[in-house]
């Protein structure tokens, strides 16, 4: 199984911008878009998929080691930026998996050109205004509190505790605050959704799509996932009971099984 030591960090140029990308594994590339608090670190599902896939995990501009790109001011700008990146790296058509904010990015890219992807997995994806419930506002609480609310029981999940437990370091605090600042810059008005997205999603055709949601997701309610399922023709919606916004952590074995079976 791939280990943390097997990861490499590479810098790419996208026009006049610099993009930091984490890579690991072997086989066909799998593009991974991280969520609004940045790349979470090494998870079990990364190791499982890196057995047969090469994971490409770009750190969004303004997150982690990727410098801020001042002309990127919304998700549409970022999705076009990434479309150029994967085209220039000859990754198209790529398999893609996006989490929360990253799911919104992937969906927006597919709206513009579904043919740049071969398969798409959206996990608790933002981007839609939920018909029932609301997207949790991450700016009314601390980053740590927001993260804890992503799962149903932060103290009862061993995987969550091993990844995010312990004292918050100054470096972690700074990384989270930078991620929150950039999220606010590109996804603030309206907060974490695009009013036209339900209509735009109907432009996605011929793209095998797997939607994964926790039934009790407190961040992006399941009702949003149901709209994605309704609007993306032929999509499959898989839900996990007793699960919040991080099925890749809370339901790790089931999550890996669904993703591996779907990607083939």
Domain boundaries, the chain: 4-263
Classify domain 4-263 by CATH number: 3.40.50.1820
Q: For residue 167, is pLDDT > 80?
A: no
48 compared with 4, residue with greater pLDDT = 48
pLDDT tier at 160 (50, 70, 90 boundaries)? confident
Query: How would you label 233-252 residue by residue, b for 16+ Cβ within 10 Å and e otherwise?
Result: eebebbbbeebbbbbbbbbb
What does pTM read for this prediction? 0.96
pLDDT tier at 172 (50, 70, 90 boundaries)? confident
- Specify the pLDDT at position 96: 98
Q: For residue 161, is pLDDT > 90?
A: no
Q: For residue 3, is pLDDT > 60?
A: no
Query: How would you label 38-63 residue by residue, b for 16+ Cβ within 10 Å and e otherwise?
Result: bbbeebbbbbbbbeebbbbbbbbbbb
Report in angstroms the alpha-carbon separations of 133 from 63, 80, 153, 201, 223. 28, 30, 20, 21, 8
Quick check: helix, strand or coil at residue 80?
helix
What number of CA atoms fall less than 13 Å from residue 188's CA on the CB side?
A: 9
- Specify the pLDDT at position 2: 45
Q: For residue 11, is pLDDT > 60?
A: yes
């Amino acid at each position: 199984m791939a280990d943390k030591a097997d990861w490499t960090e590479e810098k790419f140029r996208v026009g006049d911008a610099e993009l930091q990308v984490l890579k690991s594994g072997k086989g066909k590339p799998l593009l991974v878009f991280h969520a609004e608090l940045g790349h979470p670190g090494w998870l079990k599902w990364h190791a499982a998929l890196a057995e047969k896939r090469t994971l490409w995990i770009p750190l969004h501009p303004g997150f982690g080691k990727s410098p801020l790109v001042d002309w990127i001011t919304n998700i549409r700008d970022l999705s076009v930026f990434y479309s150029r990146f994967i085209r220039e790296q000859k990754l198209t058509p790529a398999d893609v998996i996006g989490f929360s904010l990253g799911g919104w990015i992937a969906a927006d890219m597919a709206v513009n050109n579904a043919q740049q992807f071969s398969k798409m997995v959206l996990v608790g994806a933002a981007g839609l205004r939920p018909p029932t419930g609301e997207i949790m506002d991450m700016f009314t609480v601390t980053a740590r509190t927001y993260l804890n609310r992503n799962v149903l029981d932060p103290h009862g999940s061993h995987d969550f505790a091993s990844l995010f437990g312990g004292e918050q370091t100054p470096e972690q605090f700074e990384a989270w605050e930078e991620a929150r600042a950039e999220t606010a810059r590109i996804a603030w008005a309206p907060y974490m959704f695009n009013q036209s997205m339900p209509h735009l999603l109907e432009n996605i055709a011929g793209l095998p799509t797997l939607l994964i949601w926790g039934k009790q997701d407190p961040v992006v309610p399941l009702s949003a996932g149901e709209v994605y399922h309704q609007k993306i023709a032929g999509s499959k919606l898989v839900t996990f009971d007793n699960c919040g916004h991080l099925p890749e952590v809370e339901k790790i074995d089931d999550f890996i099984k669904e993703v591996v079976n779907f990607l083939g």
